[in-house]
Structure formats: C-alpha cells, structure tokens
Amino acid sequence: MIEVKDVYKIYKLGDQEVHALDGVSLKIEDGEMVSIMGPSGSGKSTLMAILGCLDIPTSGSYFIDGQEVEKMSEDKLANLRAHKIGFVFQQFNLLPRTSALENVMLPLQYDGLNAKMRLEKAKEALEIVGLAERMYHHPNQLSGGQQQRVAIARALVNEPAILLADEPTGNLDSRTGAEIIAMFQKLHRERHQTVVYVTHDSFTARHTERVIHIADGQIKREEMIAEPLIAGVAHRPEDGNNGSALDKQTGKKKEK
Amino acid sequence: MNVMVNVRVALRALLANKLRSFLTVLGIVIGVAAVVALLGVGRGATASITDRVASMGSNLISISAQRRFGPGMSSGTSVSLYFSDYESILKNIDGIASVAPVYSSNFTVNTSSRTSNYEVTGVTPNYLDVRSYTIAEGRFVSEEDYLSNKQVVVIGSQISTDLFEGLDPIGRKLKIKSVEFTVIGVFESSGSSSGMSSGDNIIVVPLSTGYSKLFGSNAMSGGKQTLSSIYISAASADTVDQVISDTELLLRSNHALTLNDDLPFSVSSQAQALETLSEVSGTLTAFLGAIAAISLLVGGIGIMNIELVSVTERTREIGLRKAVGATRKAILFQFLVETMTLSILGGVIGVLLGSLIAMVFTWTGMITAKVTADVITLAFFSAVLIGLFFGIYPAFQASKLRPIEALRYE
C-alpha cells in the first residue's frame, strides 16, 4: 500500500515559485490498478517521480508499506527502488548497445543474486512480456513497442510490489499503446500486480478501475470505473464524446 | 552486493562501448608513450655523452690551440701548438705520467675495393697509455716504428669492418693519400657507435711517418712542425691542477706571451670537461622534462576530453541505474573499476609502446636510449591518475543527483 499525505513539490524559477504539486494526498491499495490523468504541466509526472522514489517532495510525507520514505537514507532508498518499485519510463530508457536480456538483468546486478539466478529471472520476465525470442537483440534492433516491453520486463524482474509507469504509451502509436496497456491489465489480472500509470489521454485512463484527475498540482477528482475498458477490444471513440463528463470538468480537449 | 558483481558490471559496460573505451585507452597510451620515449632518449643521450668523456682516461689533460676571433684580426687566425711545445713540456713539467702529441687531418683512405674519407691521427707510442684505448688484435705503434718512420697503421674496429669486410686486417695493406701502409693492429671496440673519442673510428699512424709522408706543409708553421693537441696524463688526480697551471706558464714563455695576454690555448682536464658537460646535460634534461610534461598534459587533455564527452550518456545511465536500485557506492565502484581498467591498460600499453620507440632509436644506432624505472613510474602514474580523476569525477557528480534529475540530463 502506498500513501501520500499533503505533498508539495516547489521549484524555484528565478524569483518565481512554481508549485508542481500543491498539497496532494492519495492512497493506493495493494492489487489496485489506477491511472493518474491530467494535462501536460499538471504535475502528474512529478507525482509519479515521487511515488517511484526518484525524486523527493519539498514537504509532506510518503509511505510505502508503512515506511516513511523521506526519513530514509540514500542507501535505504536505493534498496526500496530495487525491491518494491518497478518503473517504466515514457522514453523507455534502455541502455544502448546492450542486449534486451542484459537490460532486464540490470536491476538484478544490485541484488546479490548469483549469475544463474539472474539469467533465469531475466528470461522469465522477458517471457512474461512475450520477448523471449528477442532477448539478444539490442534496443536499436527492436520496435518502440518491443523496447517498452523490455522496459516493462526490467521493471518486473525484481517482482516489485508496485509497478509505476510514466506515460508508458506516450511514445507509441495507438495500436502498440493498446498492447502495452493490455500487458498491464494481464499482469494485474493474473498476478494481482499493483499498477499505477500516468496518462494525458482519458481513453487510456479508462482502462483502469480508478482514475485520479490531477490539474495545477492538485487532485481535482477521483473516479471509479465499474467496468474498465479492455485493451485491444475497446475502440477509441471518434466523436470526441466518450467520457465527456470528465473532459468538461478538466477542460481538456480530447486527443484523437 | 559483492565486489565481483561490480567488476563484472564495469567490464560489461566497457565492452558495450568498445569505441569509447578504445579512445580513452588511446589517449592514455599516447601520453605515456611520449613521456617514456622522450625521457628515455634524453637520458640515453646525456648518459652516452658523459660516458664517452669519462672513458677518455682519468687524469687526462688536453691542450689544443684555440682559434681566436676578435677585433683587428682576420677571422680564424690561430696560434699553433708546436712539436717543440711537447718537447719542453716533457722536459720541464713535474707530476706527469705520460705526454702524447697528436696531429690529426682528414685523408682519403682506400683498399683495393673501398675508398673512404677518414681522420688520420699521427701519434707517439705512449698515446695508448694516455688515451686508455686497448688493442684487440695485433699491436700498437712501437718505439721502433716511430723512430724509423715505419708505414704502419692501427685502425678502429668499425673501420676494420668497413674496409676489410670481416677479413682479418692484420698484415693487409691500405693506402692513405696514395701512400701504402700495413695494418699492424686493431683497437678494441668501445661499444659506442659514434663520436669524437670512440676508438672504433680512428686511424692511427706514427707521428714521424705522418710528418714525413702525409701531413706535408699543412703541419708546418714558420718552419716548425705543429700539433693538433697534446695529451698529458697526470701522475695522480692531485697533481692535475698543478700540471695545468705549470703548463699554461710554460706555454706563455714558449710563445713569448705575458700574463696579461690571452692564452691562445685551452688547457683543460677531463674533470673540468665533465663539470661543463654535466651542466649542459642538466639543462638538456630539464628541457626534455618540460617537453615530456607538455606531452603528458596533452595526453591528459585527451583523456579529459573523452571522459567528459561521454558524460551526458553516462549521466543518464547513472540515473537509470539509480532508478533500478543502484546505491551511490555501487555507482562509484563501477566507475572506479571501469576507469582503472582503462587507465591501467592504457598505461601498460603506453609503457610498452614508449619502450619500443626507445628501442627503435637504439637499434637504428642514433642514441642508446635509457628507459629507467623512474621514468616508467612517473609516466605511468601521472597518466593513470589523470585518467582516474577525470573518469571518476563526472561519475561522482552524477551520482549525487536524484535519479529523476540524472535521467533528464541532456
């Protein structure tokens, strides 16, 4: 379970203070699948970085499984990132000139496992994302969707409590994006993986059980989805009216 | 998190970036090789000059005419050293073990198959004692050869090889300025390849024969026989200074010079020459040291350049590694191992390459290079330390960033 209480993140730009996060509180239970939705500049990526322990809040507190994150030492934080959190980036962030398998093995290098165990776990993770037959390919020999699947395998390889993804479909076309979301849904369904992802797209957001709407650094609204869309089956509406209630509230235009 | 895993991580990172690794190593190799080769050659040159001077004989004092250039003189006028000066030194100066007069000039020397130009030196039998040469084969010019103007010659080992191509030269004939001489001995090779005082390239004839058959009017001045130099071997090191001042006084009186006149001869001991040379070689070493320092600096800048160029990519890589759970210590250790591997590899190859260049100098006979342990140590550790610093410093900076900042670094 993760819990955020009254978190602020303030950047200084010259004399001006920018409140990227302006008093955010939220709670995500184990086994939930949640999306965080908002327009660009709403602070959703900042929130994600804090959830992933990649950044620290200016004030407020953050608990993972009851442990308070800001009170942790650097090494404890690293340990937390290694064991509790799997993070998927918009730009994939794979090491170039390094095979898919070795990219997936990267988190295990800091885990004290022996070589055989590392190899087994990495292969297993690649099988889960369906890339077992391409494990020796380098990132530049893989398509965007395949690269993102390698990144997901890397995030999964340590069997993290929480899988976090920052705009995981942002750099992909809609069909490939749907494959990635389908992957998350499968992990959630079959392995009860806690999944949290950020998107600016309400269609993508509606594939989860809960959508947290964020704008101007504040949570505006939470919406429970009784029947989440099924990735690959649901079709993106073309009239722009799907989920219109949400869009009227956030004032954001729907993307095609 | 064990050490072996860290080492493996570092080596894998190096292999994944072969070109970058290669360029970094190259920078270090060039820096180290330049210093090793340069200092090796410099030290070798200094050592060979000093050795050569030292090998000319202990307690040796040499007297030679100085060409004087000055106002009111036609350039190059010289006062000659006469054979009679030698005789008066022999008669009047105390504390002398031996005195050897010498006249040298260049002549065409030919055998049936070879013709070449060499310096031919006319000597007396005691030349051998004064100049500490040894005879490898045959014998030296004897008293009898000298007194009866024998047409005999003693040659250096290099000349023997050049003229007789490996045949035993003793008893063979050669012609100097069309005058036939018989080879009676060969000097022992001194091992050094060239130079003014090496015994390998000299041709020696009895001085008397030289005057009568070879040197002709060039060796005459005002009806008197002249000399190029007179070598004196002092009886002991303690008498050297006394012999020099006595000889200077004697020369003044022989040439009718007062104490106020400049002495047109140089009378100097080997000790003085060595002192001068060690000053010169000190300057030479300092100069080479400065050039070597520049090479090392340039090599160092090369290393910095490569390391800093790769910082952007490495910063993002560090961000990613931290994001997936690497501790700061793990990151620093990885970069320490990476740069140490590159630096040491570069240092070792650089030392080998530098030594090879120095060896090439030695093989071609230009200079016997001396690559010493201190040169290797200096070059190796300077370059390795520069490499380590510029390899680790950016990593150290990047490891301080929060993962999200490092990942955003452009």
**What residues does each domain of chain B span?**
3-52+276-408, 80-263
Mean local confidence (pLDDT), A233-243: 68
Q: What is the pLDDT of residue B287?
A: 84
**Chain A: closest CA distance from residue B6 (Å):** 8
B134 in Cβ contact with B124 (< 8 Å): no
Q: For the segment B126-153, what is each residue's pLDDT rounded down to a tens digit?
A: 898 888 788 888 999 999 999 999 999 9
A61 in Cβ contact with A24 (< 8 Å): no
Out of A49, A55, A78, name the one closest to residue B327 (CB): A78
Domain residue spans in chain A?
2-84+160-250
Q: In chain A, what residues touch B5 (CB-CB under 8 Å)? A: 109, 112
Q: What is the pLDDT of residue A245?
A: 43
Q: What is the pLDDT of residue B191?
A: 56
Q: What is the pLDDT of residue B4?
A: 75
Q: What is the pLDDT of residue A218?
A: 95
Q: Which residue has the higher pLDDT, A22 or B241?
A: A22
**SS3 for A235?**
coil
Query: Does the pLDDT of residue A240 top 60, yes or no?
Result: no
pLDDT band at A105 (very low <50, low <70, confident <90, very high): very high
Query: Does the pLDDT of residue A248 top 70, yes or no?
Result: no
Q: What is the pLDDT of residue A256?
A: 41
Q: Which residue has the higher pLDDT, A144 or B5?
A: A144
Contact A95 B320 (CB under 8 A): yes
Annotate B86-135 with DSSP letters as a single string: HHHHHHH-SSEEEEEEEEEEEEEEE-SS-EEEEEEEEE-TTHHHHTT--E
Q: What is the pLDDT of residue A166?
A: 94
Q: For the segment B201-255, what is each residue's pLDDT rounded down to a tens digit?
A: 889 999 999 999 998 888 888 788 889 899 998 888 778 888 888 988 898 888 8
Task: Give me chain A's average pLDDT, please.
Answer: 89
Residues of chain B with pLDDT under 50: 70, 72-77, 193-196
Contact A154 B324 (CB under 8 A): yes
Question: How far is B84 from B123, CA to CA, in rounded Å?
Answer: 15
A106 in Cβ contact with A154 (< 8 Å): yes
Contact B327 A74 (CB under 8 A): yes
Question: How far is B121 from B181, CA to CA, in rounded Å?
Answer: 14
A2-84+160-250: in CATH 3.40.50.300: yes
Q: pTM of the full predicted structure?
A: 0.66
Q: In chain A, what residues touch B325 (CB-CB under 8 Å)? A: 78-79, 81-83, 107, 110-111, 158
Q: What is the pLDDT of residue B194?
A: 41
